[in-house]
Every structure is written in structure tokens, then in C-alpha cells.
């Protein structure tokens, strides 16, 4: 058989399946959407993603066609949800049929069925969520606050070093991003595995970050042609025409070994029993439980590390854009905390504006503007339109978080006050729950809401407190254009800033705290 025969056979079969589906769609009462072309549907109208930002395109179509926008991507039904009322009706009130995930060929090979975020809806997912919630709920998350406070202290101490740096602005910006990445990664690795890291070159972080990048790339629309034509999966790896498959199988083996090794190390460390892995181990043992626990733990890192870094970057960027917000946050910090000590989680109840800053940045600039799609498990009707079984329903978080009905005519503006002043035109709706339990929908919906939201909120809160307490953040205009990072996340523009100590004792207080933290880690054998 010629080498191209398997490819041609798979392509022909895929074409037949597509034609049958395409012809069957013509008689259905589907939601409105842009007109597509035969065979490919709307696939070519998505633009050069991510340069055109899919969420921006979907938002434009939402304003043209309404809250439900139907797309046909080479035979795959996709429905975009563009406002709060529609998304909450379908993904909350009807969540029993909207909580599945569409299958991705490449992600399946990488291990999607073992991941909390990608596995299909059913008893297995419910068991995973119960287990994860038991170690990440609001009460248990308080046990991790000391780790997050230590990392926030090291974060600010390292940022302080940039205030005296003579490096070019672009180099300083890269140093700043490296500091953010190391801090958030180390905090999460400490919480999950019990071993923090002082360097991004740490093999643990390097390996986990590679795995994270692998999953993120596989989830990026258009990364692999096999996602548009799944019949290509029939092509054997040995033909040389399915490199994506052999690469995925190779990486799956590596991911299995990595997660298992890290989980085993964490659970056998008798000095560290407050990490997530140890808590998982207490809930169940056995080869199957250990494998599931290892994957649950590993994927928590993948879900939390880069997303927290990006959210923190947006917070800092907002301080350079809106100095009045930074000043109000600092005034609150000075009044509640003073100069004689560092902020801590015990101050949270009184730091209302700082909490509002965190909520508002997550609303204003969601890290993942297009949430992972929900797969509809049976035909459903909404406002006279059929949403067909198997459709991928994509919440456009960017537009949902700026819903005018909920947040008012200034929904596109960054204004933390909307979460505080209940006499305001939109805050009563947030108070009454129209903005979801968090006041925004960045953490997702219903039975698929992010289980790590308590840990993420705590991390952003203490990092923001420490920065406001120690430093003034000012914009740095002399900056090169930078390089756009291509993935599914919403990165801030390339920006620079100046870090200026707020009072004379800032550096000495932070240095003393840094020494104490590193000495404690050395005594516990947890530093690296």
C-alpha cells in the first residue's frame, strides 16, 4: 500500500461524515450566526487566532446576532454564549445536561480522561471534584496561607531589587515577569507537593511548565488539523504522517512518570503533611487511587501557575494605568496595617478595597476569556432555538464579565468601587448574586467551576497587599514592542514599570523576613 493511502482513506471517510452532518443541519432551527461556506462552515472566519483574539470576534458576532451565536466548524456544532442571562440559564440551571466536555483527539492521547478539567461528565468527574474540593475548600485553603504569605514576601523583596537595577527597561520587564512566574509557581508547588523553589530553572518547575505548555498548545484552536477532521486519527503512527500522535504518546508516558514521581516524593516526606498530595493520600490508597491522585495533583499545578501569574501581571499593569486606584489601595493598607509590620491574612476583613481590586481585575481582564467548552448531552431548546446534542457551548467570559445589565454602562472600565458601593448603579446586582458567587465568571460555571478559586483569590490578595505596602508602581514609557505570546490566555500588553520603595525601612524589613523564611526552609529541608 502506498504511504498516502491511509491518509486518503481517512480523509474520504471524514468527508462523507461531514456531508451527512452538513445536510442534516439545514432543516434544524439553529441559533443565528455568520454564514459559512460548504465543507468548512465558519472555520475560515475565525481569523488569524490568537492575533485577532477569538473572544473579540465572538463578541462582535454577539452584538450582531444576539446572546446565542451558532457556528459550524467543519461539521462540528459550536454555540457561543455572549451574555450573563444566557450563560447562567444554560450552564447553571440546566447544568445536568451542559456539564460534559467535547473530546479532543490530541488531548485524549495526552491524558484528558485522567484530568479533572477535561474528563467527561459522570460519576468519575463527581468523585474527582469531591476529592479536590475536600483539599481546596475555603476552610482548608487557610492552611496554605502561610506558604502564600512567605512567597509574597519573597516576591516583593525580589521586585525591590529592580528599583536599583541599571538594566535596560526591556531586561527589567523580563526580570519582573520571571519574578512573578517563580513566585506563583513556587507557591503552588509548595501547596501541592511541599517543596518550594527559588529558581525557574529548577527541574521540577521546568518539567511541570513543559507539561502545562503541552496541554495549552493542544487546547489552542487550530493547533492540530486532526481536531477538524477526527478521521485522521486512523492513520497509524508508523506511517510517518501522524507525528502529532507519536509525540502525544511519548509525552503521555513522560507525564505519567512525572506526576507519579512527584506524588510519591510528596507523600513519602514525613516532615510535610500539609501539602495537597498528603491530603489526597489520606483519602484513599491503592494503585488506581494513587494514579488518580497523582494526576489530580499535577493538573492543579497546570491550572493554577500561569493563570495566577497573568492575573497578577494585569493587576500591576492596572496600577500603572490607574494611579488613583493604587493610591486608594495604599491608603487602606497604611490605615489598617501601618509601617511596623507586613500585611497578613488576618487583615483581610478590613482590607475591603484591596479585595475589590482583586475581584475587579479578574472581572475586567479574565485570564482565559473563552472558557473551556461545555458539551451538551442531549438536544435542548432556548428562546425558540435548537441547541443540538453534542454541541460545544463556549462561554465568552470577556463579554459575560462586561454584561451591561449586570455591571452598568461603565462595565468596560476598571473600577474596583463597583464591588463596594452598594448605592452604586450596578453594585446592588453584584450583591444580589447576578455576578455569580465571585461577582464575576472568570472561574467558570456550575459543575465545572474552578475548584482552586479559594487558593487563587488568597494568592492574589496577599501579593497585592505586599506590593501596595512596600512599593510605588510607576509606568516606564521607554519600552520596546515585545513579543506576543500565542496561546488561549489573555496576556497584558508588553509593559514596564518602576519599583520605588515607599519608606526608608522597606528594604531592611523585607531582607530580615527573607532571611527568616530561607532559614526556616533550610531547617525543614524544603528549600531548593
**Strand 76-81 versus strand 68-73 pairing type:** antiparallel
Distance of CA 19 to the CA centre of its chain: 36
Reading the block at residue 158, the C-alpha cell is 525580589
* Contact (Cβ atoms closer than 8 angstroms) between residue 498 and residue 474: yes
Q: Which residue has the cell 525580589?
A: 158
State how far the Cα of 41 lies from the Cα of 474, in Å rounded to an integer.
47
Point out which residues pair with 185 in neighbouring strands. Answer: none
- Rounded to 5°, the CA angle 469-472-475 comes to 145
CA dist 504 and 517 (Å) reads: 22
The CA distances from residue 256 to 219, 252, 253, 263, in Å, are 19, 6, 5, 11
- Which is nearest to 435 in space by CA: 479, 388, 386, 402? 402
For residue 396, what are the β-bridge partners? 370
**Other beta carbons within 10 Å of 487:** 17
Name the phi and psi angles at 283, rounded to 5.
Answer: -85, -15
Cell output for 167 = 538594566
Q: Is 516 left (phi over 0), alpha (psi -120 to 50) or beta?
A: alpha
The three three-digit cell numbers of residue 4, written as one number? 498516502
Q: What's the distance, CA 124 to chain centroid? A: 22
* CA atoms of 367 and 308, how far apart (whole Å): 8
- Per DSSP, what are the bridge partners of residue 375? 100, 392
CA 306/CA 219 separation, integer angstroms: 15
- What span, in angstroms and rounded, lies between the C-alpha atoms of 323 and 245? 50
Does 497 appear as a known binding residue? no
Q: How far apart are CA 291 and CA 297, in angstroms?
A: 10
Antiparallel, parallel or unpaired: β 76-81 and 392-395: parallel
> Omega into 50 within 30° of 0, i.e. cis?
yes
Annotated binding site: 450
Annotated binding site for heme: 450
Amino acid at each position: 500500500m502506498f504511504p498516502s493511502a491511509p491518509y486518503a482513506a481517512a480523509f474520504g471517510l471524514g468527508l462523507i461524515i461531514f456531508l451527512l452532518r452538513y445536510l442534516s443541519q439545514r432543516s434544524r432551527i439553529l441559533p443565528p450566526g455568520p454564514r459559512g461556506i460548504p465543507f468548512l462552515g465558519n472555520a475560515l472566519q475565525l481569523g488569524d487566532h490568537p492575533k485577532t483574539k477569538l473572544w473579540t470576534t465572538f463578541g462582535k458576532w454577539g452584538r450582531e446576532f444576539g446572546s446565542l451565536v451558532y457556528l459550524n466548524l467543519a461539521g462540528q456544532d459550536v454555540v457561543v454564549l455572549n451574555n450573563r442571562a444566557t450563560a447562567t440559564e444554560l450552564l447553571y440551571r440546566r447544568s445536568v445536561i451542559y456539564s460534559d466536555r467535547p473530546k479532543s483527539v490530541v488531548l485524549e492521547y495526552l491524558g484528558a480522561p485522567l484530568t479533572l478539567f477535561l474528563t467527561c461528565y459522570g460519576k468519575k468527574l463527581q468523585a474527582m471534584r469531591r476529592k479536590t474540593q475536600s483539599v481546596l475548600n475555603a476552610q482548608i485553603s487557610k492552611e496554605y496561607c502561610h506558604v502564600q504569605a512567605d512567597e509574597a514576601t519573597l516576591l516583593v523583596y525580589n521586585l525591590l531589587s529592580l528599583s536599583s537595577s541599571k538594566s535596560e527597561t526591556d531586561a527589567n520587564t523580563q526580570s519582573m515577569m520571571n519574578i512573578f512566574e517563580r513566585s506563583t509557581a513556587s507557591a503552588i508547588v509548595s501547596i501541592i507537593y511541599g517543596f518550594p523553589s527559588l529558581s525557574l530553572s529548577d527541574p521540577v518547575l521546568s518539567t511541570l511548565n513543559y507539561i502545562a505548555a503541552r496541554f495549552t498548545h493542544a487546547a489552542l484552536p487550530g493547533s492540530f488539523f486532526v481536531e477538524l477532521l477526527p478521521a485522521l486519527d486512523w492513520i497509524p503512527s508508523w506511517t510517518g504522517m501522524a507525528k502529532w500522535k507519536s509525540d502525544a504518546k511519548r509525552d503521555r508516558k513522560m507525564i505519567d512518570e512525572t506526576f507519579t514521581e512527584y506524588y510519591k516524593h510528596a507523600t513519602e516526606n514525613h516532615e510535610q503533611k500539609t501539602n495537597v498530595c498528603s491530603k489526597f493520600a489520606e483519602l484513599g490508597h491503592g494503585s488506581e487511587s494513587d494514579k488518580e491522585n497523582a494526576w489530580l495533583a499535577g493538573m492543579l499545578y497546570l491550572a493554577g501557575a500561569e493563570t495566577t501569574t497573568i492575573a497578577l501581571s494585569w493587576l500591576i499593569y492596572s496600577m500603572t494605568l490607574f494611579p488613583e486606584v493604587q493610591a486608594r489601595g495604599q491608603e487602606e493598607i497604611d490605615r489598617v496595617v501601618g509601617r511596623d509590620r507586613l500585611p497578613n491574612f488576618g487583615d483581610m476583613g478590613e482590607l475591603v478595597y484591596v479585595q475589590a481590586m482583586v475581584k475587579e481585575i479578574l472581572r475586567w481582564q479574565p485570564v482565559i476569556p473563552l472558557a473551556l467548552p461545555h458539551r451538551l448531552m442531549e438536544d435542548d431548546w432556548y428562546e425558540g432555538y435548537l441547541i443540538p446534542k453534542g454541541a460545544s457551548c463556549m462561554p465568552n467570559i470577556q463579554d459575560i464579565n462586561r454584561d451591561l445589565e449586570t455591571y452598568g454602562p461603565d462595565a468596560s472600565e476598571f473600577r474596583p468601587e463597583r464591588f463596594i458601593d452598594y448605592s452604586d448603579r450596578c453594585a446592588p446586582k453584584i450583591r444580589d448574586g447576578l455576578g455569580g458567587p465571585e461577582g464575576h465568571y472568570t472561574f467558570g460555571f456550575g459543575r465545572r467551576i474552578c475548584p482552586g478559586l479559594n487558593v487563587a483569590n488568597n494568592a492574589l490578595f496577599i501579593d497585592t497587599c505586599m506590593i501596595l505596602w512596600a512599593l510605588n508602581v510607576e509606568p516606564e514609557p521607554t519600552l520596546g514592542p515585545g513579543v506576543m505570546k500565542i496561546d488561549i490566555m489573555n496576556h497584558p500588553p508588553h509593559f514596564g514599570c518602576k519599583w520605588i520603595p515607599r519608606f526608608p525601612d522597606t528594604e531592611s524589613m523585607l531582607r530580615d523576613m527573607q532571611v527568616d523564611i530561607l532559614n526556616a526552609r533550610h531547617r525543614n529541608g524544603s528549600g531548593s
